[in-house]
Amino acid sequence: IAGITQAPTSQILAAGRRMTLRCTQDMRHNAMYWYRQDLGLGLRLIHYSNTAGTTGKGEVPDGYSVSRANTDDFPLTLASAVPSQTSVYFCASSGLAGDEQYFGPGTRLTVT
């Protein structure tokens, strides 16, 4: 059982480029989340989805979009990357919204 997988592990991206970070879970969890983690700022919620077909904005949603076409996948898209989006991105899931969350291994993104 893989749990949650994220791809890519790391990426260097030129500013202005479009990028999709992938997240897949095999635990049949209803809720999924995207966070970014920056030194000194902790984990901040970007977008979330309480169930397939629904999404919501978190604390720092600007510049990011998500979709939840099915239970397992929750991709995060940067439409036009900027250097301030350099961060470590974690995907997480929980059985139900509000339950303990399980985190993927993270994607380290550098925007130059």
Partner 1 sequence: GQNIDQPTEMTATEGAIVQINCTYQTSGFNGLFWYQQHAGEAPTFLSYNVLDGLEEKGRFSSFLSRSKGYSYLLLKELQMKDSASYLCAVNTGFQKLVFGTGTRLLVSP
Q: Which residues bind partner 1 (CB under 8 A)?
A: 31, 33, 35, 40-45, 48, 50, 58-59, 90, 97-98, 100-106
Residue 80 Cβ, how far from partner 1 at the closest point, in Å?
26
Residue 16 Cβ, how far from partner 1 at the closest point, in Å?
29
Residue 18 Cβ, how far from partner 1 at the closest point, in Å?
26
Beta strands in the chain (DSSP E): 4-7, 10-13, 19-25, 31-38, 42-49, 56-57, 64-66, 76-78, 87-94, 102-103, 107-111
